[in-house]
Structure 1
Amino acid sequence: MTSTLPAATGAQVPAQRRPVPEAGSTGRTTPPGPPPGRFRSLRPDLLLCGAILVAILVVQGWNIADYPTLSDDEGTYLAQAWAVQHGRGLAHYTYWYDHPPLGWIQIALLTWIPSAISPGAMTVGTMRVAMLLVSAVSAVLVHVLARRLALPRWAAGLAMVLFGLSPLAVVLQREIFLDNIAVMWTLLAFTLAASPSRHLWHHFGAGLAAAAGVLTKETMLVVLPALFVTMWRHSHRDTRKFALTGAVTACALIGLSYPLFALLKGELFPGSGHVSLWEGLTYQMTRPGSGFILDAGSGSWGVLHSWLYYDRVLPLGGLAGALLLLVTWRWSVTARALAGPALTVAILAAVALRPNGYLPAMYVIGALPFLALVLAGGAASVTHLVLRRWRAEGERRILTGGRYALATVLALAAGACVVPRWYDGDRTAVTADANAPYRAASAWLGSEVEHPEDTRVLVDDALWLDLVHAGYRPGLGAVWFYKADLDPAVTKTMPRGWQDVDYVVASPTVRRDARDLPNVRNAIRHSTPVATFGTGADRIEIRRIQPQTAGGTR
């Protein structure tokens, strides 16, 4: 998969210094330029990649609007993308530097045409379809990167299957998360860094793609050392210092555009009457932790078990494989080839193991492609060891047949353990309807409230755009419930606090966080349910503020 730089014109390479062919190559030289029949040689890869890609898109796309449950983060990012589309700024409320804005700017671009054709379709469930394009690009990049890391064709296909069809991946990649877009850019960076052509522009491009990944979701910053290792291994020694310097410079210059943006707006440092990048970073670094991930009963423990509920093979098998590769990288060719992905998994695992760090449910998205690559690489190594032929000619036929039989048995055993569990998880994803309560609540608020333009409703971001399309005023009528307590621009329009609210939509998110938000808590306390959709902890209650204690409809 790799090539060497040609000798200078007119120069002769001494015999003792001629390049040594790569392991597994024929030793024959290739004339300059693309070899004849290149497309024919790539056709098996294209067919395999295309077939798996179709399966991934079918499984991830089927029932995408109904499962999993709409999340508040999805609504936040989509609402911010809506604000960008409509020229309202970088957010539907005051942008406070919670994340770099490049992520939802890309979401705005992905959803621009569908929302222009049908503005009412700009809701979380419908716009999840846009994430299929991100999943498709990422899956193809996994296959290409696997081949560039010298994995055999079938192992590259296995990595693609692990990445795209694991129930954990199907659930998380459906959702409108910045992490999914950031992973796409990070995979592009690794793919360019591992280019067999070793052109300088590939490494510069890797730096630009890495910066785009970090500016999409800042957590990708921690995997840059692993990208650097991959770039070092796949750069030519004669041009390595130029390649690495160019990549680091490109990444740094693009990355510095974010603080420069804040500086030009006068919002780099805290001050009176404005938000700041410093305060946003301080909040993200000091936000309350969710506990140690191995401490039973902690929030991080619950997040870990939510991952393992969907799939144990990819996270646990990939982590074990990554640690094994890092331990054996001096002696194993596969370990050296997969050093970058293995180091990525190790870094992300180390960050997750912080004693009291904050661990969101979408954190594992950044590790999914690298877990898949490591696991596929481990399968390729085991297969190679099992099928390796001995040199004794008389024993070769018997031993080879036995080894193929053993490999088949191992493959069937692995399939028997994995396929039934994956089948159940993916069947749930393509058949379950977890969002019927949200759709019913949206329909009720759009049809049963007589004057939505004069009604104020506290709602989570998963339903915010539904209310905007139903005629509620953005920010004044449809109010994201956090802002009723935390945003001065909103609280000044509510001089009597919760009494200036007509309805509160008590979704699971609103009920969970109301204890820390006085206006929201009192609105729920002084209201009665007029409609309830769903049952149990997942129910959604539409509660009307009691007229005798509230200000009534404006």
Structure 2
Amino acid sequence: MMVIEREIGQPQTRREAHAEAALTRAPGRLRTWLSVTDNTTMLIVFAVALVIGAWNVNGAPTYQDDEGTYVAQAVAVQAGGLAPYTYWYDHPPFGWIQLAILGWIPQALGLGAGSDLAAMRYVSAFLFAITATLVFLVARRMLVRRPFAVLAAAIFVCSPLSLTLGRQVFLDTVGVPWILFAFYLAISPRVAMWHHVGAGISFAIGVLSKLTLAAFGPALLLAMLDRTRWRSRAFSIVGFLGVGGLVIMLFPLMAALRGELISGAGHVSLQDGLAYQFLSRSGSGWIWEVGSPRNDLLQSWLFLDGYLIIGGLIGAALCAFTRRTRWIPVAILCFALPVFVGQGYLPAMYIVSGLPFFALAIGSGIHLVWRMLRTVLRTYLPRLSIGGSVLVAAVIGTAVLFIPVEQWLTRGFPLLASTDENKDWRSTLEWVSDNVPRDEVIVVPYSMWQDVSKQGWDDPWQAIVLEKVDLDSQFDQEHPGGVDEIDWIVEGPTVSPNIDYLDLDMMRTALESSHVVAEFGAWKIREVDHASVPNPSTDEEG
């Protein structure tokens, strides 16, 4: 068998050399970088991922407060603002700006039955499918054999972690496709400068969608540079860093133009927002400390899909031995460092950004195993006739045996069944819409706030987000009577934990001074008993 030395120093068959040469031909049309079969496969991967992503997307998983936050901000963008309340630079607004743009489509089509949160879930399903498609495309750009590239995309789509967190309305869901597209451009075999400039722009948009995605920067640089030298290397580096840096600078530029770059009296600032997110926010404890929020979170990830995480780590170790895939273990290492080092705040949705890279590691690792087996068989058993397709099927079949099918069936696919985990949420919303007077003040958790407020409460200080009662000074200006001016409280499953975690004294008092009027599962509608609300002046005299 004739072999050709490839740039990563490993033998390459004539067929693989021809495939790589096809990728580097003249620019122009799509067929120069994807074959007809790849195009067809790509469309199938996208269509299947879209169907799975959208299937029962509003039935499960349950709506979360973070989702409600981003949906409310996206709707505010559609109305010409940045947020329904004061925007205080906790995140760059570019993530929910994208949600606002994409959200017009399901809203216009009437998807979500009038609920903005439900409509935005379909946007997440679309981004879920885009991510799966990019997993396939990045794998093919690394010359991973087509069946293994499809396997990588399938592992991502079918993972219980993806089906649970990857279909929710999070900024990570918005930013991850941009990061994957940046890698797709960076590892292009055509070392064209515009690919690297495009990679810098795409990476910057991903970071502006969710700041924590900046962790993948070192891996992206390695993916771009870890190849044989090319003449325009210096220009590519300058283009990548310069243009990407200029795009990222849009965030501080926006703050500067609004006079909110530096901390000061009487206004919010980018400095204060970043300081809160990275320095003063309550931490999650050490990963090694049993019972800490960080340790519990890691255990929950492993419970949902330990196969993907452990298998991804093993695949990453295999990928470290070839130049073409060497950036994958670096990407996973960059992702893992914030989890294992330090005690800062670690959100549950952080795992979303790592899922496609774990899937890529598994697909690429299995491809490397296949190549090794093929080489061994042809070297030591040259008379044994085993077709490539048979060997591919054998390797994939062996890999599938290690998949805990029972775990996927019990923890992932029930989300696609007809079960409705948000039935009580909808019943609560309907009761509030039918029974609560529009001239009375109601406090609602963020997971329901946007859909409650559009039922006739046009003033955000008439239908109020739970945390704003204690944490936003404007509440005192709008409601000088304090707790006594609150008439209704919608108590969801996160209300009491948030009151305790954030030490919301006024909301604790309001909750203790109320009684349940209606109840739907974990959701309760409470009416405040104004006669039992403590009088601050009386308490001070006592």
> Structure 1 length as normaliser, TM-score?
0.87
1:388 and 2:375 correspond:
yes
- 1:262-411 to structure 2, matched below 5 A, reads 262-286=255-279, 287-326=281-320, 329=321, 333=322, 336-390=323-377, 395-398=381-384, 400=386, 408=394, 411=397
For 2:379 and 2:271, the matched residues in 1 are separated by 68
Shift of 1:194: 1.1
Whether the 8 Å contact between 1:387 and 1:403 is mirrored in structure 2 is no
2:161 aligned to which of 160, 165, 168 = 168
1:155 and 2:144 correspond:
no
- 1:79-98 to structure 2, matched below 5 A, reads 79-87=72-80, 89-98=81-90
For 1:409 and 1:144, the matched residues in 2 are separated by 21
SS at match of 1:423: helix
Q: Which amino acid aligns with 1:314?
A: L
Whether the 8 Å contact between 2:94 and 2:208 is mirrored in structure 1 is yes
2:429 aligned to which of 412, 430, 442 = 442
Shift of 1:415: 3.3
2:238 aligned to which of 237, 240, 245 = 245
SS at match of 1:521: helix
1:544 and 2:533 correspond:
no
For 1:388 and 1:106, the matched residues in 2 are separated by 47
For 1:273 and 1:41, the matched residues in 2 are separated by 55
Whether the 8 Å contact between 2:429 and 2:448 is mirrored in structure 1 is yes
For 2:368 and 2:488, the matched residues in 1 are separated by 60
Structure 2 CA distance for partners of 1:317 and 1:110, relative to 1, 3 Å: same
- 1:500-539 to structure 2, matched below 5 A, reads 500-515=485-500, 516-534=503-521, 539=522
Q: Which amino acid aligns with 1:435?
A: N
Structure 1 residue aligned with 2:481: 496
Shift of 1:47: 3.0
Structure 2 residue aligned with 1:68: 61
Shift of 1:131: 1.4
Whether the 8 Å contact between 2:510 and 2:533 is mirrored in structure 1 is no
Q: Which amino acid aligns with 1:546?
A: D
Structure 2 residue aligned with 1:46: 39
2:420 aligned to which of 433, 445, 451 = 433
1:424 and 2:416 correspond:
no
Whether the 8 Å contact between 2:107 and 2:119 is mirrored in structure 1 is no
Shift of 1:391: 5.4
Q: Which amino acid aligns with 2:38?
A: D
Whether the 8 Å contact between 1:204 and 1:250 is mirrored in structure 2 is yes
1:23 aligned to which of 12, 34, 39 = 12
Residue deviations 1:314-336 (CA, integer Å, cap 9, x gap) = 1121123324544xx3xxx3xx2
SS at match of 1:159: helix
Structure 2 CA distance for partners of 1:150 and 1:238, relative to 1, 3 Å: same
For 2:366 and 2:240, the matched residues in 1 are separated by 32
Residue deviations 1:306-361 (CA, integer Å, cap 9, x gap) = 212221111121123324544xx3xxx3xx21122221101111111123121111
Shift of 1:43: 2.4
Structure 2 CA distance for partners of 1:391 and 1:35, relative to 1, 3 Å: farther
Structure 1 gaps of 5+ residues are 1-19
For 2:66 and 2:531, the matched residues in 1 are separated by 35
Structure 2 CA distance for partners of 1:113 and 1:40, relative to 1, 3 Å: closer
For 1:463 and 1:277, the matched residues in 2 are separated by 28
Question: Sequence identity of aligned pairs in percent?
Answer: 37
Structure 2 residue aligned with 1:179: 172
Whether the 8 Å contact between 2:45 and 2:133 is mirrored in structure 1 is no
Higher mean C-alpha displacement, 119-128 vs 198-207:
119-128
Whether the 8 Å contact between 2:25 and 2:32 is mirrored in structure 1 is no
For 1:123 and 1:366, the matched residues in 2 are separated by 24
Whether the 8 Å contact between 1:151 and 1:377 is mirrored in structure 2 is yes
Q: Which amino acid aligns with 2:313?
A: L
> Structure 2 length as normaliser, TM-score?
0.89
Whether the 8 Å contact between 1:195 and 1:234 is mirrored in structure 2 is no
Structure 2 gaps of 5+ residues are 1-8, 535-542
Residue deviations 1:113-167 (CA, integer Å, cap 9, x gap) = 4435659724212320111221222222111111111211111111111122211
Whether the 8 Å contact between 1:114 and 1:121 is mirrored in structure 2 is no
For 1:202 and 1:406, the matched residues in 2 are separated by 32
Structure 2 CA distance for partners of 1:85 and 1:115, relative to 1, 3 Å: same
Structure 2 CA distance for partners of 1:439 and 1:38, relative to 1, 3 Å: closer
For 2:229 and 2:366, the matched residues in 1 are separated by 29
SS at match of 2:297: helix
Q: Which amino acid aligns with 2:489?
A: V
Shift of 1:84: 0.8
Structure 2 residue aligned with 1:4: none
SS at match of 2:403: helix
Structure 1 residue aligned with 2:188: 195
For 2:25 and 2:458, the matched residues in 1 are separated by 64
Higher mean C-alpha displacement, 422-431 vs 260-269:
422-431
Shift of 1:407: 7.0
For 2:221 and 2:228, the matched residues in 1 are separated by 10
SS at match of 2:354: helix
Structure 2 residue aligned with 1:78: 71
Structure 2 residue aligned with 1:259: 252
- 1:216-231 to structure 2, matched below 5 A, reads 216-231=209-224
Whether the 8 Å contact between 1:499 and 1:549 is mirrored in structure 2 is no
SS at match of 1:111: helix
SS at match of 2:531: coil
Q: Which amino acid aligns with 1:98?
A: D
1:143 and 2:136 correspond:
yes
Structure 2 residue aligned with 1:102: 94
For 1:257 and 1:413, the matched residues in 2 are separated by 45
Residue deviations 1:482-518 (CA, integer Å, cap 9, x gap) = 0001111223212121111001111121111113101
For 2:449 and 2:104, the matched residues in 1 are separated by 18
Structure 2 CA distance for partners of 1:114 and 1:251, relative to 1, 3 Å: same
Residue deviations 1:144-196 (CA, integer Å, cap 9, x gap) = 11111121111111111112221111111210111011101101111111112
Higher mean C-alpha displacement, 56-65 vs 316-325:
316-325
Residue deviations 1:252-287 (CA, integer Å, cap 9, x gap) = 111111111111111111111100110001101121
2:454 aligned to which of 469, 473, 486 = 469
Shift of 1:404: 5.8
Structure 2 CA distance for partners of 1:234 and 1:193, relative to 1, 3 Å: farther
For 1:355 and 1:233, the matched residues in 2 are separated by 30
